[in-house]
Amino acid sequence: MNKIIAFALMPLLLIVVACAQTIQPPVPAPTGSAQQSVPTAVSAATTAAPTADSGAQKVFKRAAFEPDSLDPSKGGPGFQEFQNLYEPLVDSYAQDGQIHPLAAESYEISDDGLTVTFTLRDGLKWSDGKPVVAEDFRYAWLRQLDPQTASYVPDEFYAIKNGEEFNKGTITDPNQVGLQAPDDKTLIVTLAAPAPYWLRYVGTTEYAPVRKDIIEKFGDKWMEAGNFVGNGPYMLQEWKHDQKMVFVRNPHYNGPWKDSINIDRLEFTLVQDPDSQGLVAYEANEVDAATVPATELERIKADSEMGKQLHSIPSAGTTILIFDTKNKPTDDVRVRQALSMSIDRAALADQVLKGGYLAPTSFSPRTLSSYDPDSFQG
């Protein structure tokens, strides 16, 4: 590689969990954020007593970054929040590598690969009880392409016919973009060219629906508690900036995750560094799960109680080095190659990082369909 060096480091999510009743959020942990490594977490074998204000509710507490925004067009930290508050048309994170319908009941691809027709599930509702309709998705995707929105990833919508042209202003009529919602249950997408990869994008948070009437009514405040509506399994009850976010079950949620949800309330303590601060909070019985940093892994393993609470969770991500290719000495490809050859990936993963990471055998993590050990360049 000329510009980047794959470290072969795939984070292992080492997680400690203190509550037997605790489950992962209904949507899998961010495959896009880390699934090649195995994060480790700690969790206790006993059921935590309900907090004073929770009654008989099952509550899950965790330290987390504060999202920059709950707007799918803005990006930044907040993957787990998006996964719980929104539901896209399809699930492209399934561990079997296949794409499964979510808000969509089904989808069909035309023989020429240019037209994708989604049919929405019956009974879909927003968290305020209003129906989710195909126009909500059409509006959200056009909003991502609208140059006035300044989306951070408009190019992920360029596969749609005239999507790039609309985003760059050479076309100003949104009706010329390949998006149609002929009725409440049908969304028809016309692509600029066959793009087999595009359905993977549809399962990302960028493709989540948003409500036009809410955005127009509240402006920049549409994401605040009391204003925000989502179509996911949870809804936003409280957001005290720099302090905490609280999600409760969405009583109107009727999606495929409905029967698997057994946590009533998610409480996120907002901190600057969840990896380091989360473990401290866990040991103080303030949260129910925490990621274990590599520097603490040996101590946790050696602890008679916390060692039993340690779980390894695959996380799909690869750590890389990015070099300046225009200035000395790394403008010389031989220098970059020498630096790459000097890295003992196995020793770094096993000894320095105490087994919290996996040495990479492919640029793509093991859990992604693009995984190919034969393509690895050391």
Q: Which amino acid is at 313?
A: I
Q: For the chain, what is the mean pLDDT?
A: 85
- Give residue 42's pLDDT band: very low, low, confident or very high (50, 70, 90): low
Asked whether residue 276 is domain-assigned, the answer is no
Whole-angstrom distance, CA of residue 183 vs CA of residue 122: 13
What's the pLDDT at 93?
A: 78
Q: What is the mean pLDDT of residues 221-227?
A: 97
What's the pLDDT at 40?
A: 53
Per 3-state DSSP, what percentage of the chain is helix, strand, and coil (rounded to 5)? 25, 25, 50
- Residue 92: CA count within 13 A, CB half-sphere: 17
What's the pLDDT at 360?
A: 83
* Residue in 104, 204, 120 with CA at minimum distance from that of residue 159: 204
**pLDDT at residue 312 is higher than 90:** no
Strands (E), 201-351: 234-240, 244-249, 265-270, 289-291, 310-314, 319-322
Distance set, CA 237 to CA 165, 311, 322 (Å) = 39, 30, 40
**pLDDT at residue 34 is higher than 70:** no
Strands (E), 65-112: 90-91, 100-101, 104-109
Asked whether residue 289 is domain-assigned, the answer is no
Place of tokens 């951070």: 152
Query: Over the range 344-373, which residues count as b (16 or more CB within 10 Å of their CB) and which as e?
Result: ebeebbeeebbbbbbbbbbbbbbbbeebee
Q: What is the mean pLDDT of residues 318-342?
A: 92
**pLDDT at residue 18 is higher than 50:** no
Q: What is the DSSP string of 3-51?
A: SEEEEEEEEEEEEEE--TT----SSPS-TTT--SBEEEEEE-SSPPPPP
What's the pLDDT at 354?
A: 83
- Measured in degrees and rounded to the nearest 5, phi and psi for residue 47 equal -80, 130
Are 125 and 240 found together in one domain?
yes
What's the pLDDT at 8?
A: 38
Tens digit of each residue's pLDDT (9 = 90 or more) over 138-173: 999 999 999 999 999 999 999 999 999 999 999 999
- Give residue 17's pLDDT band: very low, low, confident or very high (50, 70, 90): low
Are 74 and 214 found together in one domain?
yes
Phi-psi region of 44 (alpha: psi -120 to 50; beta: other; left: phi over 0): beta
Q: What is the mean pLDDT of residues 267-274?
A: 94
**pLDDT at residue 296 is higher than 80:** yes
More confident residue, 217 or 32: 217
What's the pLDDT at 75?
A: 82
According to DSSP, residue 260 is labeled G
Are 139 and 211 found together in one domain?
yes
Asked whether residue 300 is domain-assigned, the answer is no
What's the pLDDT at 2?
A: 39
Are 246 and 337 found together in one domain?
no
What's the pLDDT at 321?
A: 86
**pLDDT at residue 29 is higher than 80:** no
Percent of the chain with pLDDT strictly greater than 90: 64
Residue 348, domain extent: 319-375
More confident residue, 374 or 278: 278
**Could you give the 3-state DSSP secondary structure of residue 93?**
coil
Q: Which helix (H) or strand (E) holds 227?
A: none
Q: Which helix (H) or strand (E) holds 193?
A: none
Q: What is the mean pLDDT of residues 305-325?
A: 86
Are 339 and 252 found together in one domain?
no
Q: What is the mean pLDDT of residues 47-73?
A: 76
Asked whether residue 265 is domain-assigned, the answer is yes
What's the pLDDT at 41?
A: 60
Are 263 and 323 found together in one domain?
no
Strands (E), 18-145: 38-43, 59-64, 90-91, 100-101, 104-109, 115-120
CATH number for the domain including 177? Answer: 3.40.190.10
Asked whether residue 304 is domain-assigned, the answer is no
Whole-angstrom distance, CA of residue 298 vs CA of residue 291: 14
Tens digit of each residue's pLDDT (9 = 90 or more) over 66-112: 998 999 999 877 888 999 999 999 998 777 778 999 999 999 999 99
- Measured in degrees and rounded to the nearest 5, phi and psi for residue 154 equal -60, -25
Are 76 and 175 found together in one domain?
yes
Asked whether residue 13 is domain-assigned, the answer is no
- Give residue 246's pLDDT band: very low, low, confident or very high (50, 70, 90): very high
Q: What is the mean pLDDT of residues 236-263?
A: 95
Are 212 and 144 found together in one domain?
yes
Asked whether residue 2 is domain-assigned, the answer is no
Asked whether residue 341 is domain-assigned, the answer is yes
Place of tokens 């601060």: 277
Tens digit of each residue's pLDDT (9 = 90 or more) over 345-364: 899 988 888 888 888 888 88
Phi-psi region of 219 (alpha: psi -120 to 50; beta: other; left: phi over 0): left
- The count of domains in the chain is 2
β-sheet bridge partners, residue 60: 266
